[in-house]
Amino acid sequence: MFRRALLTQTAAAFRPARLAQRPALVLSLRGYATRRYTPEHEWVSLDASSGVGTIGITDYAAKALGDVVFVEIPTVGTAVDAKEQLSAVESVKAASDVYSPISGEVVEVNEELGNEPSLINSSPFEKGWIAKIKVSDKAQLETLMDEAAYADHIKE
């Protein structure tokens, strides 16, 4: 009797109605940040609630550079303008400047890149971000490409 009750409770936990509720939560969390792209292959993901944008280079740029061996990390507290150099990335193939897609103040940097610059290659959008900036003009985001426009841009 006890075993049957346990099996019934366990089965109830996995009913499709309960599972169907979980993707809605995931979708709402994905919509929380907006990622935009520059023609030079930088990206910014804005956290709407804090006004902080996370900046990095795209996977397309990381693949074009090859194995990243050094990342120049910006200084916290530095004010940057849109299209101004924020960082530099060196790989076995080339060196490339990284420009800020938006204006603001650097509030956090990814210190892990100092020890493990290859994070830009392995995880450019999650662990390979370069800096976080307190955005001073959110309207600048509208001048950047969305994901579909960027996908078209790299096909050219």
Find the domain containing 64 and state its range: 33-155
Query: Shortest CA distance to 150 belongs to which of 59, 68, 83, 29?
Result: 59
Phi, psi angle pair for 28, to nearest 5°: -70, -35
Residue 144 forms part of a structural domain? yes
pTM for the complete prediction? 0.77
Distance CA 62, CA 37 (A): 14
3-state helix, strand, coil split of the chain in percent (to 5) is 35, 30, 35
Tell me, yes or no, whether 1 lies in a domain.
no
Number of domains the chain is built from? 1
- pLDDT tens per residue across span 80-122: 999 999 999 999 999 999 999 999 999 999 999 999 999 999 9
Query: Is 19 a domain residue?
Result: no
CATH code of the domain in which 151 resides: 2.40.50.100
Domain presence at residue 12? no
* 58 assigned to some structural domain: yes
Tens digit of each residue's pLDDT (9 = 90 or more) over 2-36: 344 434 444 444 444 443 333 333 333 444 458 99
In a domain, 72, yes or no: yes
- Residue 55 in domain: yes
Is 148 part of a structural domain of the chain?
A: yes
